[in-house]
Amino acid sequence: MARLIDGKQVSADLKMRVKEEVAALKEKGVEPALAVIIVGSDPASRVYVNNKKKACELCGIRSVEYALEESTCEEELLALIDKLNEDETINGILCQLPVPKHINDKTVIERIDPKKDVDCFSNVNVGKMWVGDYAFKPCTPAGVMELLKAYDIDVSGKNCVIIGRSNIVGKPMAALLLEKNATVTICHSKTQNLAQICSKADIIVAAVGRAKFVTADMVKDGAVVIDVGINRSEEGKLCGDVDFENVKEKASFITPVPGGCGPMTIAVLMQNTLCAAKLQNNL
Ligand code: NAD
């Protein structure tokens, strides 16, 4: 029976460390600030933005929300980003994705000054991460690394299989594991013999977006199973990509959904905002 990895606790601990550092910065006259842009009224995006604002409040980071109409044109959004890039009282900028279809998300991401790109999505910051010369960490994958660290799970030399190759999760996850000397395999929708590849993994990171995608037969006895997925089950309950009930019988460690990887993403965002404030003030 696997040991549960408690993302709520690890996230709370990380936010507490950020809070302490924010308090120390404030004593030096620096108040970290995050600008959060949301375009339109997607309910899931609204929940994410509210959670980010709450986390800022908890950590003592000033958050400024820009809620723009669904009909906002790309030029208007880019003009706001230009203004925030110039604003010395703003350290981090994020635009909640997805943006409405008439706006190009890549253009938006690239417009944010890399020094304020606390989501770590821009080409510059992704490149820096791959060569190991980075300040900001990709939030969700770095959250996974924090979970592994908190439970003393050493990845060095381990056979790590990531399912999913998105720019937000799968690919940066590979970079961070590789940096810690894991042997990394990235699987995706065109991968052949997925179950066989997974069954050899010491650590599986699932980021597919399909409920019960990772089944017990794909998991080696004693493997560590990290579930990044956020899905709704047929009964409408929040669930991950892993068939939790059966996989937990074989794994040594497993993350639940909710309460595993989810809370970590925002905690790392707080860490990145603190880091931005320090860098911009040469501290
Ligand atoms: P995505 O849709 O961009 O990528 C999904 C990946 O799964 C793709 O690379 C695809 O190749 C792969 N895939 C699809 N079908 C497959 C198959 N049959 N076999 C193997 N691979 C297959 O999604 P994403 O943005 O990477 O997110 C993945 C999941 O993680 C989603 O459920 C999302 O909600 C969740 N997520 C969670 C957090 C968090 O904070 N915990 C953050 C981001 C995403």
Domain end marker among 53, 79, 114: 114
Among 49, 208, 238, 272, residue to substitute to test ligand 1 (most atoms within 8 Å of Cβ) = 208
Decide if 268 is inside a domain. Answer: no
> Which tokens sit at 33?
């600030």
The parent domain of residue 89 ranges over: 29-114
Give the pLDDT of residue 166.
Answer: 98
**Whether 117 is catalytic:** no
**Residue 67 confidence (pLDDT):** 98
| pLDDT the model gives residue 133 | 94
Does residue 11 form part of some domain? no
* CB burial of residue 182 (10 Å; 0-12, 13-18, 19+): buried
Q: What pLDDT was estimated at residue 178? A: 98
Ligand 1 centroid distance, CA of 207 (Å): 4
Block means of pLDDT (10 residues each) for the chain, 283 residues, are: 97 98 98 98 95 98 98 98 98 98 98 98 98 96 98 98 98 98 98 98 98 98 98 93 98 98 98 98 95
Q: How far, in whole angstroms, is CA 77 from its chain's centroid?
A: 23
Residues 207 and 161: their CA atoms lie apart, in Å, by: 11
Instruction: Tell me if 282 is assigned to some domain.
Output: no
- 252 shares its domain with 146: yes
The whole-angstrom separation of Cα 98 and Cα 106 is 11
Distances (CA, A) of 261 to 10, 18, 90: 10, 18, 28
Would you say residue 81 lies in a domain? yes
User: DSSP class of residue 99?
Assistant: P
Pocket of ligand 1 (CB under 6 A): 140, 163-166, 168-170, 187-189, 191, 194, 207-209, 228-231, 261-262, 265
Q: Contact at 8 Å (CB) between 10 and 249? A: no
> Are 98 and 196 contained in the same domain?
no
* Integer Cα distance of 96 and 70 in angstroms: 13
105 and 149 share one domain: no
Asked if residue 23 is part of any domain, the answer here is no
Asked about 192 being catalytic, the answer comes back as no
| Cβ 82 vs Cβ 107: under 8 Å | no
Tell how strand 183-187 and strand 159-163 pair up: parallel
pLDDT at position 123: 98
Q: How many separate domains does the chain show?
A: 2
Q: Which residues of 233-256 are buried (b: 16+ CB within 10 A; e: fewer)?
A: eeeeeebbbbbbeebbebbbbbbb
Provide the pLDDT for residue 27.
Answer: 98
**Region of residue 31 (left: phi > 0; alpha: psi -120 to 50; beta: else):** beta
Q: Are residues 149 and 248 in the same domain?
A: yes
Question: Which candidate in 52, 115, 137, 158 is catalytic?
Answer: 52
Residue of 230, 241, 268 to test ligand 1 pocket, by largest number of atoms within 8 Å of CB = 230
Atom index in ligand 1 nearest the CA of residue 170 equals 26
Give the predicted TM-score (pTM) of the model. Answer: 0.98
Instruction: Respond yes or no: is residue 202 known to be catalytic.
Output: no
Catalytic residue among 15, 116, 117, 119: 119
Asked whether residue 17 is domain-assigned, the answer is no
CATH code, domain with 179: 3.40.50.720
Distance (Å) from CA 173 to ligand 1 centroid: 12
